[in-house]
Chains A and B, each alone.
Chain A
Amino acid sequence: DGGITQSPKYLFRKEGQNVTLSCEQNLNHDAMYWYRQDPGQGLRLIYYSQIVNDFQKGDIAEGYSVSREKKESFPLTVTSAQKNPTAFYLCASSKARQGPWETQYFGPGTRLLVL
C-alpha cells in the first residue's frame, strides 16, 4: 500500500522548543516538499528537495530546517526562531526532479499548536 505518511497528526510545541515533523514516502519519488497552510489560506512552500542530500528554500523558509539523508524521508524541524508556528503542515512528493507534468501527491498533514 504505497503512499505518504506524516506523523504525528497533532503536535504541541512549548515556547523556545524545537519540534520535528516526520514525512515518509514509499512511492520511490525523487522530489519531496513541505508546505504550510494557515486557516482560510492556500499552501505556501517552505522547503523542497529534488534529490538526496540536496534541498532548496521555498517562499517561507525562515525558522525552519530540513534534511534529506534518505530518498524516502524528508523531516521538517520547526525551530524556536519560527515565531508563529501554529499551522497545518503538509508534505508532498513527486516522481521526477524536473518536468511540468509531474503530479505532486500529498500526505494527510500534521497540525502544530503552540502551548
Chain B
Amino acid sequence: DAKTTQPPSMDCAEGRAANLPCNHSTISGNEYVYWYRQIHSQGPQYIIHGLKNNETNEMASLIITEDRKSSTLILPHATLRDTAVYYCIVRVENTGNQFYFGTGTSLTVIP
C-alpha cells in the first residue's frame, strides 16, 4: 500500500495561503490522492482528490508533482475556520476502497 508522510503541524496567518505538503513516494500509477480535514470531534470532511493533473474546487487546489511522489494542498485564503487536522490519503488498491489515514497535519490559522 502507498502510505503518506505529512508534517505533524503548521501555522498560517489568517488571509494568507496555506500550503500543506504530502509525500507518497510509493504510490501506484492508478491510485488517487485524496485530502480530508477533521475539525475537533467531528467527522472528516472531504476536500479534494486527484490522479495526475492539478485540481481546483471551491475549497482548495491540489498540486501533484509530475512523478506523483508528492502533492500540496493549497487553501488560498485561510480563515480561522480552516483550523483543523488535514489528512492526505492514498486509496489502497483492491481493498474495497479502503482509505489509509495517517496522523495528518494539524493546521492552526493565526489571527
Contact = CB atoms under 8 A, between A and B. Distances in A.
Given A40-B103, A42-B101, A100-B32, A48 B96 contact: yes
Most buried by A among B30, B43, B97: B97
Contacts, number: 64
- Chain A interface size, as a band, is 20 to 34
B46 A104 contact: yes
B98 A109 contact: no
Contacts of A109: 41-43
A41 to B, nearest CB: 6
A102 B97 contact: yes
Interface residues of B, number: 24
Interface string A47-69: 01010000010100000000000
Interface string B61-88: 0000000000000000000000000010
A25 interface: no
Contacts of B30: 100
A45 B98 CA distance: 8
Nearest to A108: B43
Most buried by A among B42, B43, B103: B43
B45 interface: yes
